[in-house]
Structure 1
Amino acid sequence: MVAHQARPWEWLNRTGAEGAEKALTPAGERILTAASTLFYEQGIRAVGVDTIANAADVTKKTLYDRFGSKDNLIAAYLERRNRVWHVFLDEQLARLRPGTPEEVILALFTALTEWMAESRRGCGFINASVELAAPDHPAMPVIVAQKRWMRAEFVAQAKLAGFDRVEELADRLLLLHEGALVSYRVAAMEHAPEVAYRAAADLLASWPRVSA
């Protein structure tokens, strides 16, 4: 039997990216589902616990019993959004079937284009970071970890591709990736992901390789 050889899109580092979600009661699931929609569509600060409880058809007491506080609910919302993002990436990469690490990097930008087509209010993590000024907010580690994971994937794929100065290359790729998200949301630049893709392709084409 021939041993399975990992395909390029299977090289993504899943460690810490998709931790198991705590089991929720039916009421807890309704609360998190309602909060996720309201937080993303209306903004975290604009949505109060009364609105969430009403949308989930529960009492405020039930909401606090399940999540402890609105801040903890915000963190749970972002943790779930992170898991949804990783499932989406898996599906997109399996569909695109990139054959090399360079193609994996560009596929991550293609996936961003598809993601933004369904996420008209931009990146939920960036939006949340703007609204949550306190560095000790329970959701901040989730936001930071999500961005660090993305950069780590650029580093990993750049190493596999044999690029030189992979840390610097990853920094530039992350700036393109995140800049597209911000430009799409703030500057109403609907083609920002496509522009970022082309810029990333040009960057990879010109970046030096490690000498043999």
Structure 2
Amino acid sequence: MGIFGRKRAEQGKPAGRHSAPDADERDDDFEEPETSLSAVQDGPFDVADAEEDGIPRIDLGSVKVPVPDGSQVQVEMDPESGGVRAVHVVTEQGQVTVSAYAAPRSGGLWKDVGNELAEQLRQDGAKVSIGMGEWGIELSAIVGEVALRFVGVDGPRWMLRGVIAGPQTVAAQAPMVLRDIVRRTIVDRGEAPMPVRTPLAITLPDAVAEHIAEQQAQG
């Protein structure tokens, strides 16, 4: 499923694909007198504000994601483009995926995205509930036997979204695992202007990229 809802699709745009917005909708030009960035005390942090803490992370370029003890990293490739679609951290409580997107300087993007996502999930037949967490709204959804929890953080010119998907039997522990990973994630937005909601590029460490290339060559 896509991160954003179907409102754009109903207007003649396919879900998950977005045409570039007008210049006044680009994150580099978007100015508002008031800001609505998430309250962040102990993370996640922009790369400019992050301190060395010794926590092991996988460097994916736009995001540096912690890998807890006992978890595994899975790379999801796009069969059409051959590029990286997503990187997942697989824990005992479920599969965690953290993604970053370009956002307005003023923040507030996650509230819109979260509401669109809730609408899309309901249209797909999921049971959805919305609550408030430490960074803003959090979504809980049940799809068959799978429990989902989504959180979002509005940072300086970026929005970070995290989701954990796992069995309902461990759903009670899943939100804490998700929050811990999101809290320790570092975002490297870069300086280039780009349209709001543009996914920040994911790059793999050399060792991981070489391993995947070897597997593809053997397959």
Same fold (TM over 0.5): no
**Which entry has the higher C-alpha Rg, 1 or 2?**
1
Structure with the bigger percentage of strand: 2
Task: Flag the structure with more relative contact order, 1 or 2, with Cα contacts below 8 A and sequence separation at least 6.
Answer: 2
TM normalised by structure 1 equals 0.29
Whose helix proportion is higher, 1 or 2?
Answer: 1
